[in-house]
Chain A
Amino acid sequence: MSIDNSSFKTNLSVLIALLILTVITVLVAQVDFGIFNAFFAMLIAGIKGALVLMYFMHLKYDEKIYSLIFGISVFFVFVLYFFSKLDIITRIIQTSVL
Chain B
Amino acid sequence: MSNYLNCKKGLFSWLFTRDHKRIALLYMITVFSFFIVGGFFALLIRLELFKVGETIVNSAFYNQLMTYHGAVMIFMVIIPGIPAFLGNFVLPLQIGAKDVAFPTVNLLSWYCLVIGAFVTLTSLFLGGVDTGWTFYTPYSIETGTAVIPVVLGAFIMGFSSILTGLNFIVTIHQLRAPGMSFFKMPLFVWSLYSTAIIQVLATPVLAITLLLLVAERVLKVGVFDPAMGGDPILFQHFFWFYSHPAVYIMILPAMGVISELICAFSRKRIFGYKALVFASLGIAVVSFFVWGHHMYVSGQSEWAGIVFSVLTMLVGVPTAVKIFNWIATMFRGSLKFDTPFLYALGFLFLFLIGGVTGYMLAVLPFDVHVHDTYFVVAHFHYVMVGGSIMGIMGGFYYWFPKMFGRLYNEGMGQLGFALIFIGFNVTFFPQFILGINGMPRRYADYKAPYEALNQISTVGSWLIALGFIVAFTFLLWAMFKGRKASANPWGAKTLEWQSSSPPPHENFLETPVVTKEAYE
User: Which residues does A use to contact B, with CB under 8 Å?
Assistant: 72-73, 76, 79-80, 83-84, 86-88, 90-91, 93-94
Contacts and interface: CB of A to CB of B under 8 A. Distances in A.
B231 interface: yes
Contacts of B231: 88
Contact of A79 (B234, B289, B300, B302): B289
B300 A87 contact: yes
23 contacts: A72-B201, A76-B288, A79-B288, A79-B289, A80-B205, A80-B237, A80-B238, A83-B291, A83-B307, A83-B308, A86-B301, A86-B304, A87-B237, A87-B301, A87-B304, A88-B234, A88-B301, A90-B302, A90-B303, A91-B299, A91-B304, A93-B301, A93-B303
A24 to B, nearest CB: 26
Contacts of B304: 83, 86-87, 90-91
Contacts of A87: 233, 237, 292, 300-301, 303-304
B289 A86 contact: no
Nearest to A77: B205
A84 B233 CA distance: 9
Interface in B81-138: none
Given A83-B237, A87-B237, A94 B288 contact: no
Chain A interface, >50% SS class: helix
Interface residues of B, number: 21
Interface string B34-48: 000000000000000
Interface in B227-262: 231, 233-234, 237-238, 241
Interface of B: 201-202, 205, 231, 233-234, 237-238, 241, 288-289, 291-292, 299-304, 307-308
> Which of B202, B300, B304, B308 has the largest count of A CB atoms less than 10 A from its CB?
B304
B475 to A, nearest CB: 39
Given A76-B288, A86-B307, A88-B231, A94 B301 contact: yes
Contacts of B241: 80
Contacts of A80: 205, 237-238, 241
B237 A84 contact: yes
A88 B236 CA distance: 12
Contacts of A91: 299-301, 304
Chain B interface, >50% SS class: helix
The 4 closest A-B pairs by CB, nearest first: A90-B303, A87-B304, A90-B301, A91-B301
Nearest to A76: B201
Given A73-B201, A76-B201, A88-B231, A83 B302 contact: no
A90 B237 CA distance: 15
A80 B241 CA distance: 7
B290 to A, nearest CB: 10
A83 B234 CA distance: 11
Contacts of A83: 237, 289, 291-292, 304, 307-308
B248 to A, nearest CB: 14
A94 B201 contact: no
Nearest to A91: B301
Nearest to B289: A79
A73 B288 CA distance: 12
Contacts of A72: 201
A79 B240 CA distance: 13
Given A83-B237, A86-B304, A91-B300, 18 more contacts: A72-B201, A73-B201, A76-B202, A76-B288, A80-B238, A83-B307, A83-B308, A84-B234, A87-B233, A87-B300, A87-B301, A87-B304, A88-B234, A90-B302, A91-B299, A91-B301, A93-B303, A94-B302
> Which of B205, B231, B237 has the largest count of A CB atoms less than 10 A from its CB?
B237
A72 B198 CA distance: 12
B288 A86 contact: no
A72 B285 CA distance: 11
